[in-house]
Amino acid sequence: MAGKDAFGTQFQVESVTPGSYTTVAHVTNITPPAIERETLDVTSHGSTEGWQEFIGGLKNGGELSIELNYDPTVHDALVEHMDDADPKNYKIVWPGTLGDWTFTAVMTGFAPEAPHDGKLTAEASFQVSGKPTLTPGA
């Protein structure tokens, strides 16, 4: 099989009970963080045949975003995360038994839309802080 169906992926927020997570309702799209690593140029006058040389530098957990069918009565509790400068714990749960990604992140944006001819929507964005935990599934 060449691929997996993304339907059923969940975005979750840690509840008041540490280690317990609540699924954010009405999420229509999740763009997981792109984990990146800087490179450090260590090229010197003695580098072989004039080829640049690099070593790995700091890693970045990346940014992620979620899109949702916005319901202020449901999602305004999530918007309140903008008021907190301290990172919170979040989780992406892959469908079925594919595992999950748990990470600490700071909410960096919340952009609702209310078109005259469509549904209420919103996009929330987050910056991962530290190393995410990638838990493989069965």
Domain of 125 in residue numbering reads as: 10-36+54-136
The C-alpha atoms of residue 133 and residue 66 are separated, in whole angstroms, by: 19
Place of tokens 């078109």: 115
> Does the pLDDT of residue 1 top 90, yes or no?
no
pLDDT mean across residues, the chain: 96
The separation between the first and the last C-alpha atoms of the chain, rounded to the nearest angstrom, is 16
Look at residue 25 and tell me if it is in a domain.
yes
In a domain, 4, yes or no: no
- Chain centroid offset of residue 71 CA: 21
Read off the pLDDT of residues 32-75 as tens digits, 9 standing for 90 and up: 999 999 999 999 999 999 999 999 999 999 999 999 999 999 99
CA neighbor of 61 nearest in space, from 83, 84, 89: 89
Give the tens place of pLDDT for each residue, 104-136.
999 999 999 999 999 999 999 999 999 999 999
Amino acid at position 68, single letter: L
Q: What CATH number corresponds to the domain at position 126?
A: 2.30.110.20
Does residue 46 lie in a domain region? no
Percent of all residues in the chain with a pLDDT value above 70, rounded to a whole number = 99
The total number of structural domains that make up the chain: 1
pLDDT higher than 80, residue 2? no
Task: Map tokens 């509840």 to a residue.
Answer: 15
